[in-house]
Structure 1
Amino acid sequence: MTAPRILVVDDEADLRELLEITLLKMGLDVDSAATLRQARGLLEEHDYALVLTDMRLPDGLGLELVREVHASPKATPIAVITAYGSAENAVVALKAGAFDYISKPVALDALRVMVRSALRLLDAAPAQPDGSVPGSRMIGTSTAMQSLRAQIGRLARSNAPISITGESGSGKELAAREIHAQSSRASKPFVAVNCGAIPETLMEAEFFGYRKGAFTGAAEERDGFFQAANGGTLMLDEVADLPLAMQVKLLRAIQERRVRKIGATSEEPVDVRIISATHQDLARCVEQGRFRQDLFYRLNVIELSLPPLRERLDDLPPLVDAVLARLAGPGQAALGPGVLDALRAYSFPGNIRELENVLERALAFANDGVIEVGDLSLKAARPSEAGREAAAAAPAPVQAPVPAPVAEPEAATAPVGAAPGPAMLGPGGLPGNLPEYLIQVERDIIGRALQQTQFNRTQAAALLGISVRQLRYQMQKLEISAPDDNA
């Protein structure tokens, strides 16, 4: 069997020789070039399993070669060598289609890991004509799903960080797992972390681990998420909920590919691919000062947007079949007349997750495993995500002035659902006190969201497009209390 062939492109003879010797010891065939012109000539003559190029060459930039190789129908992975500390160059190269990057001075262990990762792409399962691969859980034949699967297939061939965006319940973690399963890291761990569910005081220990005795309660040494995902993929779900202090530490870990446990005196290398996900607009979070711009650029190298279920209703039949087979077993549940039409007429603001909940509830009420329209318990009119956002952004309806209530001896928290006392309106229907009027509008919107979700803070936060931590803060600031707060 012919050994895989690697192309090394670098104008430094010493470094080129070091790379050649290292790759030859790995049992690989190696060609080398000192210029772009030589590299292009070799690429025309041979097929390569990997191209490794410096960013600066005598007759141009390695970035030119990255774009050319990435656009080639051969789909050869290409990695770049960047100067120490040139994180911006690495991000530009990844955006241009580079498989991965390595910094100078070149760490040979890291080089070997990257090369093995690229070679594993040769064994990846080929995609079907519709973009699906064997064992894929990305179900559907709609145009949106075929496009999404094609994107996932391309992204799986890279080690670049990916930012997955989409509404709550649209399958962001499923897409991340699919990228991991099709990548060269498939045999390594996939670790998913909900950034909004970790107490701020424990974040550093959870992400980076700690040494025995590093703090009170540290009875034994423990690895963090980065060590647990070493060699594989680390998914940061709801990454917008990370506090700013943790964002700084996360940025360094991603850039340096090294982490330091709490209580340790030295850093240790880690090899993880970062996939982040959020239902929030990260760019807007950056504008608001809630998310670091440098971390945003580090995570948002490639963006993958997931379509909501209402935009791919053609996929409902196979999705319903797959969900019912998982809940009741193959062939154990069926849909009655008109059920599929009723599902198509629903907007599904909760997307796939809501579809699963609707079917699970309906199955519990179904007779002999046959789901009827009445078993679905769908609400007649459920506003779409866009409609909710428009309603939240719109000013409160103008109400007739009412007498101001008699002041209590002490300020009491407003119970959820209580209509806010409207500000007195002046000439032209404008509020006489704008700040107080806006506070009343915000209090009313949050109260209605809590009522609609039966005081479930997690669901109410998702409905409003904010984190649970933000919702709790706003409730405290606006003196909003739920029934269980006064229990």
Structure 2
Amino acid sequence: MKPIWIVDDDESIRWVLEKALARESLATMSFSNARDAMEALKKSTPQVLVSDIRMPGDSGLALLQTVKAAHPGLPVIIMTAFSDLDSAVAAFQGGAFEYLAKPFDLDKAVELIRRALEESLREASVEQASTDTPEILGQAPAMQDVFRAIGRLSQSNVTVLITGESGSGKELVARALHKHSPRSSQPFIALNTAAIPKDLLESELFGHERGAFTGAQATRRGRFEQAEGGTLFLDEIGDMPFDLQTRLLRVLSDGHFYRVGGHQPLKANVRVIAATHQNLEQRVREGLFREDLYHRLNVIRLRLPSLRERREDIPILTRYFLAQSAKQLGVEAKRMSEQAMQFLMSLDLPGNVRQLENLCNWITVMAPGQTVEVKDLPQELIGGQESPAPVSAPAVTMAVPSFEHSAEFIHKPNGHAHEDNGADGTAPITPSAAPSSLSTADKNWIMLLETEAAQMLAAGRPEVMDALGRQFESALIKTALRYTHGRKNDAAVRLGIGRNTITRKIHELGIDGVKDE
């Protein structure tokens, strides 16, 4: 993690903040004037920048303007005396994350810096995901049609609607459209509208003002602001709540929006790319999706073929995923025998490319030899069934896809998942052994969650992510709180999340038995 920069001509302020942040194990770098900080910005960047307003030479507002021009996502906290509150307003207008009035309470200052740090790390993870995403792979005629469409749209800012089955790679296509567009140097921001609870989605899209609702302790930029000048990808747009569809339509119509709790209209210079696996025309007929929004989104439509329609691409995709999985684990990549590859090409793989990727992760960990034969594949596949391949990987060494990016698979906390087919051709998930460190009640809950997930998936219920995601988060937090005897901050450390995050989630999920610290 990068250091936190402190810019103030008052040596005592720099010293106090340095010592307080050091106690929190946070690295710092200090500057006595804005000019030195501007020079340092040419060579490196901080994780968070804390600057006074009034200093000899260039002011903190001038530094803020320089930072935002080069690094718009970098949180800047402006320190100001009470007599400078007009300047604080100017700081907000310039894009400051928050202001800190002098003299300040040191604990509150550290808490504010931690909030800015969480925001910075979250945005950095989004940028890293963007740079790590590979180009689309495929040689099949159906994929060549997609490539040609991307090429024709390369110099356009037109809205695009991507359709296709779950797991077929719609986000990869959206990233390719952005990468080859005039906006490629600006942010690509992705949001799965089905993975965000309905009551939080508006704030996630449009941001919120400080005090807009309980827990809104600071102004927060939404995805539209984060994507300014670039591309906003709205995945699973068919699941967007009806009232939010109205707000989205207004942004697409006139290019303006309001933060939650805000009164100042903001201009959105954003290209919107939407995606769905659902039949939007049918949802319009059923009154679940606005017809005017549908026509706004459906300017150019790209249909992604399923893996069944491009079986000739399975070998190249398999080799790529095996190589990537081996790289993550630091082992030699497994090779598929000719018979095993032919067998994979004969499968329907209803989870499409995502299911194939998970299967390759399973093979890397579980297949006994370097050359993989048909007998080494998961028994569910060998038996001629069409269930998604299990993903059994040590939780310490292999990251398991999150709920947001893998709606087809339900993962247990130990990083294992298992699915099997039912007699009706659906893919119910068979509960397997839970980690031995969990209580009997927790083990039973995991099995019940898997069973409920299987039933909801089989019924095609769209709220599975929202309903089970909240249950899963609640169970994790409750387990951590039991482990720490109700100590909230200790539980946050154990879970690897921030103190503000666990406080917000405890409130949202209605969790009791938390000790005040």
TM-score normalised over the length of structure 1: 0.53
1:211 partner letter: E
- Indicate the residue corresponding to 1:334 in structure 2: 335
The amino acid across from 1:261 in the alignment is R
Aligned to 1:217: 215
Q: What is the correspondence of 1:454-465 to structure 2 with a 5 Å cutoff?
A: 455=450, 461=456, 464-465=459-460
Please say if residues 195 and 465 of structure 2, whose CA atoms lie closer than 8 Å, have aligned partners that are also in contact.
no
Q: Offset at 1:370? A: 2.2
Q: 1:472 to 1:359 in 2, by over 3 A?
A: same
Secondary structure, counterpart of 2:428 in structure 1: helix
Question: For 2:194, what is the secondary structure of its paired residue?
Answer: helix
Aligned residue in 1 for 2:384 = 381
Larger Rg: 1
Task: Tell me how large the CA RMSD over aligned residues is.
Answer: 2.9
Select which of 278, 282, 285 maps to 1:284.
Answer: 282
**Residue type matched to 1:370 in 2?**
T
Q: CA deviation at 1:451?
A: 3.4
* 1:65-84 C-alpha deviation (Å, 9 max, x unpaired): xxxxxxxxxxxxxxxxxxxx
Structure 1 runs (4+) deviating above 3 angstroms are 379-385, 445-466, 469-473
In structure 2, the residue matched to 1:451 is 428
Match of 1:149 in 2: 147
Tell me which residue corresponds to 1:364. 365
Over residues 419-456 of structure 1, what are the superposed CA-to-partner deviations in whole Å (9 max), with x where a residue is unaligned? xxxxxxxxxxxxxxxxxxxxxxxxxx999857356536
Counterpart secondary structure, 1:197: coil
> Which consecutive residues of structure 2, in runs of 5 or more, have no partner in the other structure?
1-132, 389-421, 432-449, 469-517
Equivalent pair of 2:227/2:270 in contact (CA under 8 Å) = yes
Q: What CA distance in whole angstroms lies between the structure 1 residues aligned with 2:239 and 2:425?
A: 23
Q: CA 1:198–1:471 in 2, change beyond 3 Å: closer, same or farther?
A: closer
Deviation for aligned residue 1:366: 2.2
Q: 1:202 aligns with which of 188, 200, 208?
A: 200
1:345 Cα offset (Å): 1.3
1:227–1:153 Cα change, 3 Å: same
Query: Structure 1 residue 360: deviation in Å?
Result: 1.4
CA contact 1:457–1:468 (8 Å) conserved in 2:
no
Q: Across the two proteins, how many residue pairs are aligned to each other?
A: 280
8 Å contact kept, 1:163–1:302: yes
Aligned to 1:186: 184
Q: Which amino acid in structure 1 is aligned with residue 220 of structure 2?
A: R
**1:265 alignment counterpart:** 263
For 2:321, the equivalent position in structure 1 comes to 323
Structure 1: any 5+ residue segments left out of the alignment? Answer: 1-134, 386-444, 474-487
- Residues 339 and 148 of structure 1: is their aligned pair in 2 closer, same or farther, counting only changes over 3 Å? same
Query: How far apart, in 2, do the equivalents of 1:337 and 1:216 lie?
Result: 59
CA contact (8 A) 1:191 1:225 kept: yes
Q: Which amino acid aligns with 2:348?
A: S
Question: What residue number does 1:94 align with?
Answer: none
Aligned residue identity for 1:376: L
Give the residue type in structure 1 aligned to 2:349: F
Counterpart CA distance in 1 for 2:466 and 2:384 is 26
Superposition map of 1:89-108 within 5 A: none
> Structure 1 residues 157 and 446, CA, compared in 2 at 3 Å: closer, same or farther?
farther
Query: Cα 1:470–1:367, aligned 2, differ >3 Å: closer, same or farther?
Result: closer
Match of 1:246 in 2: 244
AA partner of residue 468 (structure 1): E
Is residue 193–residue 236 contact of structure 2 (8 Å, CA) maintained in 1?
yes
Matches within 5 A, 1:124-139: 137-139=135-137
Measured in 1, the distance between the counterparts of 2:387 and 2:367 equals: 28
Which residue is equivalent to 1:104? none
Structure 1 residue identity aligned to 2:359 = V
TM-superposed CA distance for 1:462, in Å, is: 5.2
Inter-CA distance 162–379: structure 2 relative to 1 (3 Å threshold): farther
Aligned to 1:314: 312
Secondary structure (helix, strand or coil) at the match of 1:284 reads helix
Task: State the TM-score, normalized to the length of structure 2.
Answer: 0.50
